[in-house]
Chains A and B, each alone.
Chain A
């Protein structure tokens, strides 16, 4: 099993550009989530999904969209990138919701100039 994979590993965007961060897992996990990590602020939940076709907002959803058309994939879309979205983004999955251990992907380091 590859576990949780994320692409790309690094990305530089200009303000106003849009892009999609990809996340996939091959463990048949129902629960998937996106976090951003900024210095001194821990991991903040952006969006999460408890199953295919079901998504919900986390703490910091503004400026991001998600969809979950399959169990395996959970892409994160930045609609119009802003410098405040410069961060490291982690995707995670788990067999169930928050009572199960989360498996994290390697992360995407995004810089918006």
Chain B
């Protein structure tokens, strides 16, 4: 089945430092979504990328979709304590028969030290 590998598993930063998490797939993706889960909470949708090479920004967050549509990244500039949580990517294969199946990466747990 489809696998989406996400790295790193953990990231500890000082407040103000930057943070990046990466998702990689061996197959071409139709789209990729990013979610954030606060400790003890549920995943909340952040953004979806669909086009090859797409870059989207939300304030301090920058999302990229690779040219080959096999990888994606989420970059946070100047982290704040409110950024703490687990960040997940989720993707669907392009052209597959698994309509409706969204595969999640393992997630990156971000801790921010004040």
Q: Do A and B come from one complex?
A: yes
* A residues near B102, Cβ cutoff 8 Å: 33, 45, 98, 102
Once A and B bind, how many residue pairs between them come within 8 Å at the CB atom?
Answer: 68
Contact with B along A21-41 (1 / 0, CB 8 A): 000000000010101000011
The complex places the Cα of A35 from the Cα of B100 at a distance, in Å, of: 13
What size tier do the contact residues of chain B reach?
A: 20 to 34
* Nearest CB of B to A83, in Å: 22
* B residues near A41, Cβ cutoff 8 Å: 106
The complex places the Cα of A97 from the Cα of B50 at a distance, in Å, of: 14
* B residues near A58, Cβ cutoff 8 Å: 101
Q: A107 on the interface (CB 8 Å rule)?
A: yes
User: By the criterion CB–CB under 8 Å, are A42 and B106 in contact?
Assistant: yes
User: By the criterion CB–CB under 8 Å, are A59 and B1 in contact?
Assistant: yes
User: By the criterion CB–CB under 8 Å, are B99 and A44 in contact?
Assistant: no
Q: A50 on the interface (CB 8 Å rule)?
A: yes
Q: B107 on the interface (CB 8 Å rule)?
A: yes
User: By the criterion CB–CB under 8 Å, are A43 and B31 in contact?
Assistant: no
Residues of B within 8 A of A (CB): 1, 6, 9, 30-31, 33, 35, 41-45, 48, 50, 88, 90, 92, 99-107
